[in-house]
Structure 1
Amino acid sequence: MASPVTDSDEPLTPAGRLFLQPEMDQIIHCVIGFKNPLDTESIKAGLRDSILLKHPRFSSLMVRDRHGVEYWRKTSIDFDRHIITIESPITTASVDDETAVNEYLADLSTGPGLSTDKPLWEIQLLKAHKCVVLRIHHCLGDGISLMSMLLACCRKVDDDNALPTIGSASNRTKSKEGKLERRCLGRFWGFLKMVWFSFVYVVEFILRCLCVCDRQTAISGGAGVELWPRKLVTARFWLRDMKVVKKAIPNATINDVLFGVISSGLSRYLDHQATNVLQEGLQITGVAMVNLREQPGVQELSNLMMRSNIGSRWGNKFGIVLLPIQYQKSGTDPLQYLKRAKVMIDRKKQSAEAHFSYRIGYFVMTRLGAKLASLLNYRIVCNTSFTISNIVGPQEEIAFRGNPISYLRATSSGLPHALTMHMVSYAGRADMQILVAKDIIPDPEFLAKCFEEALLQMKEAAEAVVKA
Structure 2
Amino acid sequence: MDSSTFETDEPLTPAGRLFLRPEINQIIHCVIGVRDSIDVDSVKSQIAGSVMVQHPRFSSLLVRDRNGVEYWRRTSIEVDRHVIVVAEPVLDDGASDEKAVNEYLADLAINSSMDADKPLWEIHLLLAHKCAIFRIHHALGDGISLMSMFLTCCRRADDPNALPTIVLDSRPARKTRRWRWAEEIPKMLLAVWFNFLFVAEFILRALWVSDRKSPISGGDGVELWPRKMATAKFAVEDMKAVKKAVANVTMNDVLFSVIGAGLSRYLEHRQPKGLKEGLQLTGVAMVNLREQRGLQELTQMMKGNRGFGWGNKLGILLLPVNYEKKTLDPLQCVVRTKKMLDRKKRSFEAHFSYGVGKLIMSYLGPKVACILNYRIVCNTSFTISNVIGPREEITIGGNPITYIRSTSTSLPHTITMHMVSYAGRAEMQILVAKDIIPDPEFLAECLENALLEMKTAATIFQTK
Which TM-score applies when normalising by structure 2? 0.96
* Deviation larger for 235-244 or 339-348: 339-348
**Deviations along 1:175-232, whole A, 9 cap, x unmatched?**
527x6254x5443333222111111111111100001000010111000000000000
1:180 aligns with 2:199: no
> Aligned residue for 1:464?
460
> Aligned residue for 1:394?
390
1:448 aligns with 2:444: yes
1:5 to 1:202, Cα distance in 2 relative to 1, 3 A: farther
> Aligned residue for 1:46?
46
1:63 counterpart SS class: strand
**Deviations along 1:39-87, whole A, 9 cap, x unmatched?**
2222222211110011100000111111111111111111110011221
**Alignment partners' CA distance in 1, 2:293 and 2:373:** 28
**Alignment partners' CA distance in 2, 1:446 and 1:25:** 29
2:52 counterpart SS class: coil
1:256 to 1:339, Cα distance in 2 relative to 1, 3 A: same
1:3 to 1:17, Cα distance in 2 relative to 1, 3 A: farther
Match of 2:336 among 335, 340, 346: 340
Match of 1:379 among 372, 375, 391: 375
> Aligned residue for 1:290?
287
> Aligned residue for 2:251?
254
Q: How far is the alpha carbon of 1:155 from its aligned partner? A: 0.5
- State whether residues 152 and 163 of structure 1, in contact with CA within 8 Å, keep that contact through their aligned partners in structure 2: yes
**Deviations along 1:429-457, whole A, 9 cap, x unmatched?**
00000000000000111100000000000
Match of 1:221 among 218, 236, 243: 218
Q: How far is the alpha carbon of 1:308 from its aligned partner? A: 6.5
The letter of the residue matching 1:87 is A
- State whether residues 5 and 65 of structure 1, in contact with CA within 8 Å, keep that contact through their aligned partners in structure 2: no
* Deviation larger for 370-379 or 327-336: 327-336
2:53 counterpart SS class: coil
Q: How far is the alpha carbon of 1:98 from its aligned partner? A: 0.4
Extract structure 1 runs of 4+ deviating beyond 6 A.
Answer: 1-4
**Alignment partners' CA distance in 1, 2:403 and 2:417:** 17
**Alignment partners' CA distance in 2, 1:207 and 1:304:** 38
- State whether residues 6 and 71 of structure 2, in contact with CA within 8 Å, keep that contact through their aligned partners in structure 1: no
**Deviations along 1:354-385, whole A, 9 cap, x unmatched?**
11111211111111111111010000000000
> Aligned residue for 1:58?
58
- State whether residues 237 and 431 of structure 1, in contact with CA within 8 Å, keep that contact through their aligned partners in structure 2: yes
Instruction: Among all aligned residue pairs of Structure 1 and Structure 2, give the percentage whose two residues are the same amino acid.
Output: 61
1:75 to 1:160, Cα distance in 2 relative to 1, 3 A: same
Q: Which runs of 5+ in 1 are unaligned?
A: none
**Deviations along 1:80-102, whole A, 9 cap, x unmatched?**
10011221112222201000000
Match of 2:403 among 404, 407, 413: 407
* Deviation larger for 384-393 or 341-350: 341-350
- State whether residues 44 and 79 of structure 2, in contact with CA within 8 Å, keep that contact through their aligned partners in structure 1: no
* Deviation larger for 287-296 or 241-250: 287-296
Q: How far is the alpha carbon of 1:5 from its aligned partner? A: 4.6
1:358 to 1:100, Cα distance in 2 relative to 1, 3 A: same
1:53 counterpart SS class: helix
Aligned ranges 1:62-141 → 2 under 5 Å: 62-141=62-141
Aligned ranges 1:352-363 → 2 under 5 Å: 352-363=348-359
Q: How far is the alpha carbon of 1:338 from its aligned partner? A: 0.9
2:54 counterpart SS class: coil
1:456 to 1:299, Cα distance in 2 relative to 1, 3 A: closer
2:282 counterpart SS class: strand
1:422 counterpart SS class: strand
Which TM-score applies when normalising by structure 1? 0.95
> Aligned residue for 1:203?
200
The letter of the residue matching 2:223 is E
Aligned ranges 1:243-322 → 2 under 5 Å: 243-274=240-271, 276-295=273-292, 298=295, 300-301=297-298, 303-304=299-300, 313-322=309-318
**Alignment partners' CA distance in 2, 1:19 and 1:421:** 18
Match of 1:434 among 430, 433, 438: 430
**Alignment partners' CA distance in 2, 1:441 and 1:389:** 20
The letter of the residue matching 1:266 is L
- State whether residues 2 and 64 of structure 1, in contact with CA within 8 Å, keep that contact through their aligned partners in structure 2: no
- State whether residues 3 and 66 of structure 1, in contact with CA within 8 Å, keep that contact through their aligned partners in structure 2: no
1:339 counterpart SS class: helix
The letter of the residue matching 1:50 is S
- State whether residues 434 and 444 of structure 1, in contact with CA within 8 Å, keep that contact through their aligned partners in structure 2: yes
1:73 to 1:342, Cα distance in 2 relative to 1, 3 A: same
Q: Which runs of 5+ in 2 are unaligned?
A: none
The letter of the residue matching 1:173 is P
RMSD, aligned CA: 1.8
The letter of the residue matching 1:171 is S
1:328 to 1:4, Cα distance in 2 relative to 1, 3 A: farther
Match of 1:327 among 317, 320, 323: 323
1:440 to 1:249, Cα distance in 2 relative to 1, 3 A: same
1:419 to 1:230, Cα distance in 2 relative to 1, 3 A: same
